[in-house]
């Protein structure tokens, strides 16, 4: 636990020792508000945050990989990964320390959108339950995308390659479950396969939570998504350590 805490604190501190974290927060807050108000927030005359949460998958597809691309790529580029893994710490502890530090940073970014909650509360009487489940779904989605980004950051020492691969996979997880995508796939794929693609897509699980329907299958989807990609990241790094 001490080793995990050391990596966690080191990684979290590193976000705020450079201007990168502040630039990320400004860009994230700007686009989260811009996309919400651009899509007729006032015109629909309904005080809720559904438009805000609907835009989170699109925003996270780019913003989360931008956060994760440096996690291991930077360590490999400057050669500090050998020093880190030579310390009395397991690869899993190092991976989890970095992952949870980055996840907490993303949660902080989401917390800074709280003025949006104040705005809709001032304009009307929003459903608090939907706001809570919307944030819960966003936090889980951020964790899932971050786990994907951790894996590709460990695969390549080039941050740009890591970013591009993460964006592609995260976009596939989101857009594979859209009705237009599934309708197109149904024209040449068996119905069972199309249904399976829809089930492994992030969109349906996040959409259910966002709408206030919290089911075990949706929560377990994100947990398994995170565990799977984190385990793959640990395996890649462990192989590099022993080779």
- Give the tens place of pLDDT for each residue, 83-93: 666 666 788 88
User: Hey, what are 85's tokens?
Assistant: 């893994």
Please, what's the largest Cα pairwise distance for the chain? Answer: 61
Are 96 and 230 a contacting pair, CB within 8 Å? yes
> What percentage of residues in the chain have a pLDDT greater than 70?
88
pLDDT of residue 117: 84
Look up the pTM and report it: 0.89
Checking if the pLDDT of 242 tops 60, the result is: no
Q: How confident is the model at residue 203 (pLDDT cuts 50, 70, 90)?
A: confident
User: Hey, what are 92's tokens?
Assistant: 């899993």
> What percentage of residues in the chain have a pLDDT greater than 90?
29
């Amino acid at each position: 636990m001490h080793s995990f805490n050391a990596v966690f604190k080191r990684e979290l501190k590193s976000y705020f020792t450079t201007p990168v974290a502040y630039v990320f927060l400004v860009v994230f807050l700007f686009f989260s508000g811009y996309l919400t108000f651009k899509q007729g927030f006032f015109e629909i005359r309904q005080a809720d945050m559904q438009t805000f949460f609907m835009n989170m998958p699109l925003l996270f597809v780019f913003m989360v990989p931008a956060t994760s691309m440096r996690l291991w790529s930077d360590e490999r580029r400057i050669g500090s990964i050998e020093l880190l893994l030579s310390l009395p710490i397991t690869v899993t502890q190092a991976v989890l320390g970095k992952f949870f530090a980055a996840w907490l940073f993303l949660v902080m970014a989401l917390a800074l959108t709280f003025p949006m909650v104040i705005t809709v509360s001032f304009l009307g009487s929003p459903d608090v339950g939907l706001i809570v489940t919307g944030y819960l779904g966003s936090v889980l989605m951020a964790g899932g995308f971050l786990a994907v980004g951790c894996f590709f950051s460990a695969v390549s020492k080039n941050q740009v390659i890591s970013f591009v691969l993460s964006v592609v996979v995260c976009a596939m997880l989101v857009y594979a479950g859209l009705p237009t995508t599934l309708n197109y796939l149904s024209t040449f794929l068996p119905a069972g396969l199309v249904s399976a693609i829809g089930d492994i897509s992030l969109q349906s699980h996040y959409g259910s939570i966002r709408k206030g329907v919290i089911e075990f299958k949706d929560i377990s989807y994100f947990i398994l998504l995170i565990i799977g990609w984190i385990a793959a990241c640990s395996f890649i790094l462990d192989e590099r350590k022993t080779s």
